[in-house]
Structures are given as C-alpha cells and as structure tokens.
Amino acid sequence: MRNLKKAILLVLVLALAVSVFAGCNNNDKEPVENNSEQNNEQEEKVVYNVGLIQLVQHDALDAATQGFRDALTEKLGEDGVNFNFQNAAGDTNTCNTIVNQFVSSGVDLIFANATPALQAAVSATAEIPIVGTSITSYEVALDEDDWANRVTGKNVTGTADLAPLAEQAAMFKELLPDVKTIGLLYCSGEANSQYQVDVVAEELTKLGYTAVKYAFADSNDVAAVTTNACQESDALYIPTDNTVASNAEIVNNITIPANIPVIAGEEGICKGCGIATLSISYYDIGHVAGDMAYDILVNGADPATMEIGYADTLTKEYVPSRMEQFGITPPEDYVAIEE
C-alpha cells in the first residue's frame, strides 16, 4: 500500500514538472509576439493630410486637380494620403475662408488651383508648404521682384499653364487672315488674364491688327461685355480666364449668332465657345505639381528652392463643327477636339 502511494506521488510530481516546463516555454514566446506587434506599429505607413482648394469647377481646373490627386495617390497609395477638396465657386472671399480652415486644421500641404486660390493660401500661411497650378505667371500673381523662375524665400512652388502667347496671336494670321479688329475678352479681376491680354494685344499690333480690350468685372457682366465686343470686332481672343471658362456657354450663345470666331487660350474654353487654341494639358501640369508635392512631403524638399514647372507639350487644337460653320479648313498640324 505504501509503495502504491509512493508511485502515485511520483506521478503527480512528474505531471507538475511537465506543466511548469510547458508554462515556461509559453512565457518564452510572448515577448516574440509583442516584438512583432511593436514592429508592425513602427512600420505603419504615414498618412499625409493635403488641403485642395480650387477656385471654380470647369474642365481645365478639374483636369489639373485630378492630375495632382493621381500623382500623389500613385506614389503614396490610397491609404497614404487624405485629400480635403474644397471648391471656392469662383469667389475670392471663399478662397480666404477655405485656406484659413486648412491652416487651422494643420494640413501638411496646400494645393492651390488657380491664381486667387494661390494668393489666398500665401496670405494665410508662411509655414505650410503650398503647391500651385493653373497659374499663368507666379511673378505677376505674387508680385515678385528679381524673378528667377522660383518663388524665392517663400513656402511656394508649383506649375504654370502659360502657353506661348506670341504663337497664340499668330494663329489669327494662320486661320483668320482677313480680320481687321480683334477684341480681347477677359475678367479684370484676374491678374493673370490681364497679363495675357496685355502681351497678346502687343503681339497682335505687331502683326498689323487693331487690338481692343474688353474687360468685365465678374460673371454678371459677361453677357453685356461680350455683346459689345462682338458688335465692334471681327474676331475675339480669350485668354486662360477662369470666369470665362465658367461662362463659356453664355459667350458661345452670343458669338455664334453674331458670326464672330473665337481663338482661346486653352482647350476647355475653346471647346465651350472657340474655334481653335494652342493649349497645354492641364492634367499633366497637375500631375507634375503632385510629383513636386511628394518631394516636399516625403523627401523634405524646400518649395523656395524648387523651380516653377511648365507643360512639356503644346497642341494646336480645333473644334470641327465651329471651323466648318466659319468655313475654315484646319491646317494638318491641328488636332480635333472631341465634341
């Protein structure tokens, strides 16, 4: 009996030893699991918050914004960037409100699409990096002195939408050689529009045309000013003007019955009311701006040292139905805009 008790006791001791050994082995694995969790947390992707302000919605600016978003998403991934898109509906005061909200929320970068949006962003912050696009001239927009193709000393860089203005003026000789007086239709509230018409007017004068400027203050005056311009002109030139772009249908409804052809500064306006344009790709300049934003966010690039980017390609384009209406045969190097 005593031997039986000893055997039972021995079995219990052995079972306890096995249990303790197994427990020790389990405890040995826990730190490995915890280290794995810590490594995962350390390797978690950084998410950047980017505020996007667009002056107004129309084809050109929409394409630039899409290009910017695509560029950053391609490089950071869908889960690597949060976009806060805001449309100012063409109002400069709304631009100020939007960028101040971006600054208050502490976004990592501001994307400013069009000149008033850029100007509002620059006024709102000197610290948060700003990348602009659809800006005809940063020098004019920001009143820069000693221009060296960069916004020296400021938290700003970006891409421009300026096409060669002399070449745009020359399109009148190519397509409308018999016109005498050319009206230049634009919004006086857009500094870059003023810059474009000043340059084009000078170029048209060199070519022997009479160039007359027709400015409107805002969208409320577009119809009246366009009507007046059509009554006094043989043809119209419209620069890359955001107000006209948003009201191209109104312009078209006046110019077509008046039999006044329009050469435009960019594809969107041309599609809405023009016969031809020498245009850049707004998607492309937006995409380049997105690449610049990535360099700032991830690589720590200083906007003040980054040169302004420009479109790599220019395309002469035409609207087939309007060219036919005006009896114009497009040269072979012109590309049709899909209607």
Q: Do domains 48-161+281-305 and 165-279+315-336 have the same CATH topology?
A: yes
Q: Which CATH class is domain 165-279+315-336?
A: alpha beta
Q: Give the CATH number of domain 48-161+281-305.
A: 3.40.50.2300
How many degrees, rounded to 5, is the angle at CA 71 between CA 68 and CA 75? 145
Looking at 23-32, 105-114, 133-142, 161-170, which range is the least confident one? 23-32
Instruction: Look up tokens 């043809």; give the residue.
Output: 235
As a three-state string, the secondary structure of the chain is CHHHHHHHHHHHHHHHHHHHHHHHHHHHHHHHHHHHHHHHHHCCCCCEEEEEEECCCCHHHHHHHHHHHHHHHHHHCCCCEEEEEEECCCCHHHHHHHHHHHHHHCCCEEEEECHHHHHHHHHHCCCCCEEEEEECCHHHHCCCCCCCCCCCCCCEEEEECCCCHHHHHHHHHHHCCCCCEEEEEEECCCHHHHHHHHHHHHHHHHCCCEEEEEEECCHHHHHHHHHHHHHHCCEEEECCCHHHHHCHHHHHHHHCCCCCCEEECCHHHHHHHCCEEEECCHHHHHHHHHHHHHHHHHHCCCHHHCCCECCCCCEEEECHHHHHHCCCCCCCCCEECCC
Alpha-carbon distance 283 to 271, whole Å?
Answer: 16
Instruction: Look up tokens 């009201």; give the residue.
Output: 247
Q: What is the pLDDT of residue 44?
A: 67
Q: Which two tokens stand for residue 180?
A: 């005498």
- Show me where the domains of the chain are located: 1-36, 48-161+281-305, 165-279+315-336
Task: Give residue-wise pLDDT tens across range 273-306.
Answer: 999 999 899 999 999 999 999 999 999 999 999 9
Q: What is the pLDDT of residue 43?
A: 54
Task: Tell me the average pLDDT across 155-176.
Answer: 96
Instruction: Look up tokens 């008790």; give the residue.
Output: 5
Task: Give residue-wise pLDDT tens across range 215-228.
Answer: 999 999 999 999 99
Q: What is the pLDDT of residue 97?
A: 98
Per-residue pLDDT at 32 exceeds 90: no
Task: Give residue-wise pLDDT tens across range 202-256.
Answer: 999 999 999 999 999 999 999 999 999 999 999 999 999 999 999 999 999 999 9
Alpha-carbon distance 52 to 132, whole Å?
Answer: 10
Q: Model confidence at 312, in pLDDT bands (50, 70, 90)? A: confident
